[in-house]
Structure 1
Amino acid sequence: MGIRSGRIWRRIVNRGVTRFWAQAAREASETDLRTLKRRRTLARQLRSHLDSLISVADGRLALPIIGSNTFPKPHGTDWAWRPTVWRESLPSKGRVAVQSKEGLGEEVTLFHDCSISELTLRQLRNTRAKDLAPYGLRMDVFRFDGSFLSLVIDFPKDALHDLNRQYVIRMDTIVEMEKPLEIFARFNIKHGPNTEQIVRELPLHEEDIMVEFDLAYSKLNEKRIEKAWVDLIFEGPEMNQVILRDVTFSRRPRAEM
C-alpha cells in the first residue's frame, strides 16, 4: 500500500506542477515584472534538468546501446577503446564556425589554419542496423582557405600501460563522404622531449577501413612514454561532408618473427 500510495501522490504532484507552469506560460504577457523575473529563473533551472533528462532518456531508449565498447578485436588484444564522442551522448551536440583547437568532448579536437572558419562539427545518433557505435561524428566543410585540417583524438592513460615496441596499435573506422578525398592517420607518441610519428593512409576504397601502427619500427623510448594521440588529416576537404560513423582503437603484442 505504501508504494502504491507513493505513486499516486507523485502523479498528483506532477499534475499540479504541470498545471502551474501551463498557467504561468499563458499569463506571461500580463504578469508583473517582478514575478515574471522570478518565474523565468525557476523555468531556466527546470529546463536545464529537463534537457538533461531528455538527453539521457533518448540515449538509453535508442539503439545501439549507449556506452557500448563492443566491436570486433584481433586475437591477442589486451586493450580496446571507443572514444567518448562515438560512445556517449555529449551535453553539447555540435559547434559551428569551429576555431582551431576547438572540438567536442574531452578527447576530440579540430586543428586548422583557416582565416575564416566555415567548419561545423556535430555528434549524431547512429540508427542503422549495422552500426555498433551509438553515435557518429559529422564534419561539414564549406569554403576552406587553409593549408591543413586535422581531427586529433587523444588516447587515455590506460592505453599507455606497459606499452613497448613489441606492440601494434590498430585503428578501425567507418567513413562516409559526399565526394572522394584522402584521409591520413598519424599516430603520435610523446616520450621525453621527442615525439615518434607513424603515418598511414586510410584505405577508403576497401570495405573494412583499418590501419595498423607497428611500434617495432619506431625509436620509442619505452621508459619515458608520456602521452599518445592520433591525427586524422583530411586532404582537399573543401565543400564536403564527412561522417565518421565509428572510430575504435585496439592494441596487441606483435607476432614474433
Structure 2
Amino acid sequence: MGLKRSGLDWLAHRRDLRRWRQTVRAATSMTLEQLRAERSEARKLRYHLNELISHADNRLALPIIGSHAFPKPHGTDWSWRPAIWREPLAVPGRSSVLSKTQLGHELTLFHDCQHSELTLRQLRNTREADLAPFGLRMDVFSFDGSFLSLVLDLPEAAVQGLKQRHLIRMDTIVEMEKPLEIFARLNIKHGPNTEQIVRELPLHEEEIMVEFDLAYSKLNEKRIERAWIDLIFENPQMSQVILRDLTFSRRPRAEF
C-alpha cells in the first residue's frame, strides 16, 4: 500500500530536517549526557533510513515492469517483447506440465512425453545487464518423449504490411546448465500454405541472434493470416534453460 504525503506531512518532514541541522550545529557545545541521547536517537533514525535506501536501491535497480526497451536495428518498422518477459503472470509457474499447456496468453508448451517431468516458471530478472523485467525458466528432468517445443504466437502487428523484402530478427539471452541445441522456426500462414524458416541459435556466441530472410521464401503477401515461432529443444533431458529475454524486430532488407 503506497504512502501519500499530505501538506502536513511535508511540513513535519521539513521541521524534522531543520531540527537535525540544528542538532548537528550544536553538537560541539552539548554536554556528554545530551550528546549520548542525541547519538542514540540518530542511530535509530539511521537504521530506518538505511533500510529504506537499501530497499529503494534494490527495486530501482531492477528492469521496469512493462518495459519494451531494447536495441533495435536501423530501419526497424516493428518490434516486440512478449508479455511473459514484460509483465507478471497471474500464475507464474506450472509443474508436471502437460502438452498444449499455456503460460500466459502467447506461449504454449508442446511435447509427446508419457509422463511429464517438466516445469515452467516466470522469474524476476535482477541482473544489471538485464533489460527485460522477467525471464522464463524451464526445468526438464526425466524425458521419455521425442520432441519438446515452446510455441509463441506473434501479434497481428507482426504480419501487418509484411513483405518478402522483410527480415525478421529474434534476439535472446539464454542460460543453460549443460550444452544444448535450440532451434527457432518461423511459421507464416498464408492462405492454405504455411511458410517455414528454421535457424539454429548460436548459443556459443556472445550475441544470440537469428534472422529470418523472407526473400528466400514463397510467401504470398496478399494472403498472410498469422505467424508464430517454435523454439525447439534437442535432447533436453536433465537440463535447465533460462530465457532471460526474448525480443523481435522487423525491417526491410537493404536495396541494392
In the other structure, the counterpart of 2:166 is 167
In the other structure, the counterpart of 1:118 is 117
Q: How far apart, in 2, do the equivalents of 1:110 and 1:206 lie?
A: 26
Q: How far apart, in 2, do the equivalents of 1:213 and 1:228 lie?
A: 12
SS at match of 1:189: strand
| Cα distance, 1:219–1:79 mapped onto 2, change above 3 Å | same
In the other structure, the counterpart of 2:91 is 92
Q: Which runs of 4+ in 1 moved over 6 A?
A: none
- After superposition, the CA RMSD in angstroms is 1.6
Counting aligned pairs with the same residue, the percent is 77
In the other structure, the counterpart of 1:233 is 232
Q: How far apart, in 2, do the equivalents of 1:162 and 1:85 lie?
A: 25
Structure 1 residue ranges without an equivalent (≥5): 8-59
Q: How far apart, in 2, do the equivalents of 1:204 and 1:116 lie?
A: 29
SS at match of 1:68: coil
In the other structure, the counterpart of 1:203 is 202
Contact 2:61 2:128 in 1 (8 A): no
Partner amino acid, structure 2, of 1:159: A
Contact 2:175 2:244 in 1 (8 A): yes
| Cα distance, 1:61–1:221 mapped onto 2, change above 3 Å | same
In the other structure, the counterpart of 2:37 is none
- Measure how far apart 1:4 and its partner are: 5.9
In the other structure, the counterpart of 1:137 is 136
Q: How far apart, in 1, do the equivalents of 2:217 and 2:195 lie?
A: 7
Count how many residue pairs are aligned between Structure 1 and Structure 2: 203
Give matches, 1:239-254, under 5 Å: 239-254=238-253
SS at match of 1:140: strand
- Measure how far apart 1:256 and its partner are: 1.4
SS at match of 2:157: helix
Q: Deviations for 1:38-77, whole angstroms, at most 9, x for unmatched residues?
A: xxxxxxxxxxxxxxxxxxxxxx867200000100100000
Q: How far apart, in 1, do the equivalents of 2:107 and 2:90 lie?
A: 14
Give matches, 1:4-23, under 5 Å: none
Q: How far apart, in 2, do the equivalents of 1:236 and 1:103 lie?
A: 22
Q: Deviations for 1:164-198, whole angstroms, at most 9, x for unmatched residues?
A: 10100000000000000100000000001100000
SS at match of 1:116: coil
Q: How far apart, in 1, do the equivalents of 2:114 and 2:60 lie?
A: 42
Q: How far apart, in 1, do the equivalents of 2:115 and 2:61 lie?
A: 37
Contact 1:103 1:121 in 2 (8 A): no
| Cα distance, 1:102–1:61 mapped onto 2, change above 3 Å | farther
- Measure how far apart 1:103 and its partner are: 2.3
In the other structure, the counterpart of 2:47 is none
2:34 is aligned with 1:67: no
In the other structure, the counterpart of 1:106 is 105
Partner amino acid, structure 1, of 2:108: T
Contact 2:182 2:232 in 1 (8 A): yes
| Cα distance, 1:84–1:4 mapped onto 2, change above 3 Å | closer
Q: How far apart, in 1, do the equivalents of 2:98 and 2:61 lie?
A: 32
- Measure how far apart 1:115 and its partner are: 0.5
Partner amino acid, structure 2, of 1:218: S
In the other structure, the counterpart of 2:191 is 192
Partner amino acid, structure 2, of 1:129: E
Give matches, 1:47-66, under 5 Å: 63-66=62-65
In the other structure, the counterpart of 2:41 is none
Structure 2 residue ranges without an equivalent (≥5): 10-58
In the other structure, the counterpart of 1:25 is none
Tell which structure's C-alpha radius of gyration is larger: 2
Partner amino acid, structure 2, of 1:222: E
Q: Deviations for 1:8-47, whole angstroms, at most 9, x for unmatched residues?
A: xxxxxxxxxxxxxxxxxxxxxxxxxxxxxxxxxxxxxxxx
Q: How far apart, in 2, do the equivalents of 1:223 and 1:211 lie?
A: 26
SS at match of 1:212: strand
TM-score normalised by L of structure 2 = 0.77
Q: How far apart, in 2, do the equivalents of 1:92 and 1:221 lie?
A: 38
